[in-house]
Every structure is written in structure tokens, then in C-alpha cells.
């Protein structure tokens, strides 16, 4: 028989556009918003135990009072829960509760909840809709937007996952009032990252406000969150699946992820990204990409935001190096980094000689 070729044309995708609403007090309006947008649908809130206690149980009660068929699932807070075991448990719970193709998952919490609940939504019944209700600053400025969902495995962070865009993102900066100060600072690291990678004027504004930023300064936060989300959304619109431009959002993450994983997740994501930005700017200066004066400005700003900048002691440099190589951003033939090239601009796909990393590690082992 001769060769037969059958083309499968798939370029007619449906519109997956969505809105990110940043509005103080919107949390209280959620039951009405969700019920009027998805009348008659089953709504499954997924959250962690801490956010469940603070916000989840009240949301469930109010959804039910508004007539929604809804349920709440909680898992133990923390990065250690962002794994296949928790995902499987949640998938099974949803299936047992009669999840349908038109049901909606409500991811209520920080980045761990958003990534995990989004992954559950992406996989259960081969994908159902979900909304993001981020409750940490980090999730509000970064992880709730853009559709990256996933879990960690022993080999590394976020290595199993999908691109699954939410149907909507509802951001209420007033919920940050209950956030521990350290977690608030972690969110500032992702704001600094977005500015460092993409926007010199945004970075200048952060430099100005850094010493007096408070988590209860709702007006200031609304502005910062909306600006960060706007910058991120513009990148995601151009390169949803990270074939090029979107890699800029991984600034600080190549070293950051390895720092996070090699600490057994004792160092939180935002803090690890701050350490990653500091180390990667050092490499960038050494490669002649970034002027030293810009690195100094970055370090000063990270310190003003009360973020860590020093690499932790790396007890097992080889293991750390392996974690870098396992990162999604590496390709065959070498370690590929996103590096800052100045305050507000960055370069993707930069090959970094292994010895630069080893030098960095030797100085910290
Ligand atoms: P997290 O979700 O673990 O939240 C941090 C802590 O804050 C938790 O203990 C949580 O219970 C608590 N918390 C959340 N909201 C609270 C509130 N309003 N009041 C009091 N406590 C509250 O961590 P995170 O820093 O939000 O997110 C980190 C995760 O996000 C990492 O897994 C990282 O890989 C992921 N991430 C994903 C993307 C993406 O694009 N998908 C981007 C950046 C980070
Ligand atoms: N946080 C990186 C991205 O969304 O691409």
C-alpha cells in the first residue's frame, strides 16, 4: 500500500480570553459573581487548610446561601503538598462528588493552591474550567495569570503540568491583611522580577516606594498588582506556550528553583527568586551583559524590599548543579539562562559556562 497522509487541521481554537479583576472588596462579592456567571454549575473550591479556615469556609457558606451546588476541599498548606499524591486525592474526590465537564474549580489561595487546583482542573475529565482567586501577593501578581499549572516531582519543581488558562481571575488586595509579613515580601520579589525583566519605569517606581510598602496600603498595592499583571498579560498574549519571549518571566528562576529545591523547600519561592536574581545578575555582569551599576541598583532595591540576596550554603554542589540541568529552561548542550541585561531589559537563551556556576557554588559551599 502506498503512503497515505491525512492532515489534522487544528488552528481554529476557541477564544480563551479572560479578565483579571483587581478590586478591593471583590472577595465578598464572589458568590454573586460566580453564581450569575455560571448558574446551575457545580462549583468546587480547592484551597489549603490555612486559607480554608480564613476564607474558604465562609465562601462555601455564602455560595450555598446564593443557591450554588458547591463543595470545599482542603489540603495541608505548603509547597510539600504540591505533588502527585495530593493531585490524585483531589481528582478522586471531585470524581466521587460527580464533577461534570461544565463544573468549575475555584482555586482559592496562594501559588501552591493555584498551580495544584489548576492542574486538577486541567486533568480531571481531560480538562474543566477554573477560576483563580489568589490570596497571596505572589499569586496575585504572577502565578494566577498565564495558565501555567502543575506539580513538583523528586527530579525538580513544576516538571509535570499543563498550560490551562483560567476563565477569570479575581484579585482582592484586602485579603493580604492576614498574610504573614514574610509571604508578603515573597510577593514583592516577583513584582521586582517583572520590573527588572521588562520595564525600567516600573522598576524606578518600586525603588521609590520600596522602603514604605505595607501590606495594608491597599491603594498602592492595587496599582502595583495591576501594573505587574498588565506587563505579564502582554507577554502571555504574545507567547502563551513559552516558545520565546515568555521565558523572560523566568528571570531569577533557574537558580531560584535549584535554591528552593536544594533547601527541601525551606526557602520559599519568592525568597529563592530574589536570591536567583542577585546571583544571575552577578553572572550577567561577568558575561559583560549587564552594567555593574545596574546590578548595584538591583541589590539595593532587593534589600530595601527586605528580601534575601545571599546564596545559602550549598552542601551538595553536584546535586545543585543537577537541579539546574533538570530545569525546564535548559536545553541539550548547555545551561540556558534568562539574564538581566539592564534594569528593565533581559536576554533569553544565554548559554552560561558551567564553570561560572561552579565558581558561584564554590564560594557558597
Ligand atoms: P503558598 O500558596 O504556599 O502560600 C504561602 C502561605 O501563605 C501558605 O501557608 C498559605 O496557606 C498562606 N496564605 C495564603 N493566602 C493567605 C492569606 N490571605 N492570609 C494568610 N495566609 C495566607 O505560596 P505562594 O508563595 O503564594 O506561591 C508559591 C508557589 O507558586 C510555588 O509553588 C511556585 O512554584 C508557584 N508559582 C507559579 C507560577 C505560575 O506561573 N504558575 C508563578 C510563580 C510561582
Ligand atoms: N511565572 C512564569 C510564567 O508564568 O511564565
The count of residues in the chain is: 365
Q: List residues near ligand 2 (CB under 6 A).
A: 142, 146, 148, 246, 249-250
Residue 316 designated active-site: no
**The pLDDT value given to residue 68:** 97
| pTM value > 0.85 | yes
Cell digits for 319?
546535586
Closest residue by Cα to atom 2, ligand 2, is 249
**The pLDDT value given to residue 329:** 57
Closest residue by Cα to atom 22, ligand 1, is 179
Distance CA 261, CA 324 (A): 10
**The pLDDT value given to residue 29:** 98
Taking only the tens of pLDDT, the chain with its 365 residues reads 789 999 998 886 789 999 999 999 999 999 999 999 999 999 999 999 999 999 999 999 999 999 999 999 999 999 999 999 999 999 999 999 999 999 999 999 999 999 999 999 999 999 999 999 999 999 999 999 999 999 999 988 899 999 999 999 999 999 999 999 999 999 999 999 999 999 999 999 999 999 989 988 999 999 999 999 999 999 999 999 999 999 999 999 999 999 998 898 899 999 999 999 999 999 999 999 999 999 999 999 999 999 999 999 888 787 788 778 776 555 555 688 999 999 999 999 999 988 888 888 887 76
Residue 190 designated active-site: yes
Q: Characterize the bridge pairing of strands 345-352 and 156-163.
A: unpaired
Residue 315 designated active-site: no
**The pLDDT value given to residue 361:** 81
Q: Which atom of ligand 2 is nearest to the CA of 247?
A: 5
Exposure on the CB side of residue 13, measured as CA atoms within 13 A: 4
User: For residue 81, which ligand has an atom nearest its CA?
Assistant: 1
Q: Residue 107: which of 168, 25, 179 has the closest Cα? A: 168
**The pLDDT value given to residue 310:** 93
Contact indicator for 186, 137 with CB cutoff of 8 Å: yes
Residue 126 designated active-site: yes
Q: How far is CA 302 from CA 129, 305, 320, in A?
A: 37, 5, 24
Q: Residue 329: which of 253, 269, 237, 268 has the closest Cα? A: 253
Answer whether 179 contacts ligand 1 (Cβ < 6 A).
Answer: yes
Q: How far is the CA of 213 from the centre of ligand 2 (A)?
A: 24
Q: How far is the CA of 77 from the centre of ligand 1 (A)?
A: 9
Q: How far is the CA of 338 from the centre of ligand 1 (A)?
A: 23
Beta bridge mates, 259: none
Contact indicator for 192, 302 with CB cutoff of 8 Å: yes
Q: Which of 246, 247, 268, 295 is catalytic?
A: 246
Exposure on the CB side of residue 21, measured as CA atoms within 13 A: 15
Answer whether 269 contacts ligand 1 (Cβ < 6 A).
Answer: yes
Amino acid at each position: 500500500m502506498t503512503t497515505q497522509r491525512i492532515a489534522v487541521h487544528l488552528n481554529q481554537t476557541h477564544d480563551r480570553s479572560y479578565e483579571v479583576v483587581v478590586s478591593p472588596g471583590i472577595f465578598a462579592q464572589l458568590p454573586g459573581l460566580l453564581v450569575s456567571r455560571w448558574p446551575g454549575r457545580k462549583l468546587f473550591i480547592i484551597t489549603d487548610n490555612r486559607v480554608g479556615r480564613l476564607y474558604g469556609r465562609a465562601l462555601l457558606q455564602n455560595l450555598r446561601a446564593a443557591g450554588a451546588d458547591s463543595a470545599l476541599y482542603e489540603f495541608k498548606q505548603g509547597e510539600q503538598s504540591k505533588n502527585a499524591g495530593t493531585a490524585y486525592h483531589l481528582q478522586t474526590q471531585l470524581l466521587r462528588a460527580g464533577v461534570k465537564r461544565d463544573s468549575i474549580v475555584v482555586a482559592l489561595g496562594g501559588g501552591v493552591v493555584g498551580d495544584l487546583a489548576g492542574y486538577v482542573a486541567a486533568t480531571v475529565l481531560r480538562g474543566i474550567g477554573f477560576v483563580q482567586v489568589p490570596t497571596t501577593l505572589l499569586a496575585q501578581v504572577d502565578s494566577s495569570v498565564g495558565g501555567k499549572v502543575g506539580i513538583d516531582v523528586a527530579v525538580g519543581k513544576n516538571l509535570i503540568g499543563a498550560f490551562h488558562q483560567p476563565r477569570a481571575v479575581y484579585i482582592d488586595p484586602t485579603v493580604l491583611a492576614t498574610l504573614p509579613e514574610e509571604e508578603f515580601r515573597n510577593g514583592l520579589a516577583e513584582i521586582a522580577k517583572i520590573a527588572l525583566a521588562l520595564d525600567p519605569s516600573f522598576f524606578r517606581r518600586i525603588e521609590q516606594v520600596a522602603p514604605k510598602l505595607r501590606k495594608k496600603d491597599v491603594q498602592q498595592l492595587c496599582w502595583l498588582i495591576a501594573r505587574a499583571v498588565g506587563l505579564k498579560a502582554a507577554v502571555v498574549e504574545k507567547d502563551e506556550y513559552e516558545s520565546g519571549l515568555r521565558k523572560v518571566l523566568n528571570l531569577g528562576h533557574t537558580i531560584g528553583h535549584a535554591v528552593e529545591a536544594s533547601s527541601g523547600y525551606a526557602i520559599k519561592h519568592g525568597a529563592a527568586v530574589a536570591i536567583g536574581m542577585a546571583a544571575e545578575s552577578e553572572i550577567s555582569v561577568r558575561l559583560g551583559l549587564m552594567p555593574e551599576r545596574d546590578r548595584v541598583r538591583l541589590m539595593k532595591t532587593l534589600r530595601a524590599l527586605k528580601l534575601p540576596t545571599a546564596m545559602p550554603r550549598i552542601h551538595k554542589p553536584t546535586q545543585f548543579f543537577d537541579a539546574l540541568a533538570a530545569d525546564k529552561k535548559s536545553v541539550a548542550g548547555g545551561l540556558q539562562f534568562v539574564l538581566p541585561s539592564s534594569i528593565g531589559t533581559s536576554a533569553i537563551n544565554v548559554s552560561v559556562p558551567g564553570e561560572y556556576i561552579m565558581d558561584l557554588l564554590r564560594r557558597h559551599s
